[in-house]
């Protein structure tokens, strides 16, 4: 009997060891618009995060999932959240939206008024939190790179970013302040006050340096 108990104890140790080895990866979903859609391309910010994890030999601990669709605004994210995020059973969701909510107000008249933006964003976060998902939210980066705040959408971007900072505080979620990071970078590095080409290819979508800046800010916030 004693021998059987000893063997059973050893079996439990082996099972526990195997359980640790087969521990589920932490699944992180990046939820957003065309910037996130491009994030899974070879030079995109999600791919750069994956590359960094591989170099640090921690890639086996995480599964990175891109859930970006071009042109999306905050209400688009809310409407497709069930299929594109919740169905994937994530542990963490990083929400990066707001550019189109501002940009499309002038480009096509289909942006999102600030009060509606705030309501949809709060509803989105609450639905994620109801599933015990850890949520990180980002302020929008730039629509034009001139560092003297002469880009036409700078005022709106600053206002929407201020609202996102408030949303983060009210909902107890962590903020990734990309707006501040981009503005600080432009002030330091855009010495000729160029409209594009420093962090973006076209005033909005990220070039290699822009993707790296986003990757660095997200990794810092996520502790990766």
Question: Could you tell me if 95 and 135 are in contact, meaning their C-beta atoms sit under 8 angstroms apart?
Answer: yes
pLDDT of residue 8: 54
The per-residue pLDDT string of the chain (224 residues; one tens digit each, 9 = 90 and over) reads 555 545 554 555 445 444 444 558 999 999 999 999 999 999 999 999 999 999 999 999 999 999 999 999 999 999 999 999 999 999 999 999 999 999 998 766 789 999 999 999 999 999 999 999 999 999 999 999 999 999 999 999 999 999 999 999 999 999 999 999 999 999 999 999 999 999 999 999 999 999 999 999 999 999 99
Q: How far is CA 66 from the centre of its chain?
A: 9
Closest CA to 72 of 172, 140, 164, 142: 140
Nearest Cα residue to 179 out of 141, 218, 217: 141
Nearest to 137, CA basis, from 146, 148, 145, 129: 129
Q: Which domains does the chain have, with CATH numbers?
A: 26-222 (3.40.50.1110)
d(CA 39, CA 42): 8
The residues pairing with 18 across neighbouring beta strands, listed in sequence order, are: none
SS3 content of the chain, % helix, strand, coil (to 5): 55, 15, 30
What six digits make up the tokens of 89? 């059973």
């Amino acid at each position: 009997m004693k021998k059987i108990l000893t063997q059973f104890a050893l079996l439990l140790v082996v099972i526990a060891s195997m359980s640790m080895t087969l521990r589920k990866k932490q699944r992180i979903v990046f939820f957003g618009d065309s910037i996130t859609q491009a994030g899974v391309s070879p030079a995109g910010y999600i791919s750069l995060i994956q590359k960094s994890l591989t170099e640090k030999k921690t890639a086996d601990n995480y599964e990175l999932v891109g859930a970006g669709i071009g042109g999306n605004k905050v209400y688009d994210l809310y409407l497709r959240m069930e299929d594109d995020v919740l169905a994937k059973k994530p542990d963490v969701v990083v929400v990066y939206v707001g550019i189109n909510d501002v940009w499309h107000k002038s480009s096509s008249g289909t942006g999102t008024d600030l009060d509606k933006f705030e309501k949809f964003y709060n509803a989105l976060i609450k639905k994620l939190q109801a599933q015990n998902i850890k949520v990180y939210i980002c302020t929008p980066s730039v629509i034009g790179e001139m560092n003297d705040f002469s880009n036409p959408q700078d005022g709106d971007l600053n206002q929407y970013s201020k609202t996102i900072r408030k949303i983060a505080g009210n909902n107890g979620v962590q903020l990734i302040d990309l707006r501040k990071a981009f503005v600080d970078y432009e002030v330091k590095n855009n010495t000729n006050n160029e409209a594009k080409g420093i962090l973006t290819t076209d005033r909005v979508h990220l070039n290699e340096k822009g993707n790296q800046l986003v990757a660095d800010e997200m990794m810092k916030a996520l502790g990766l």
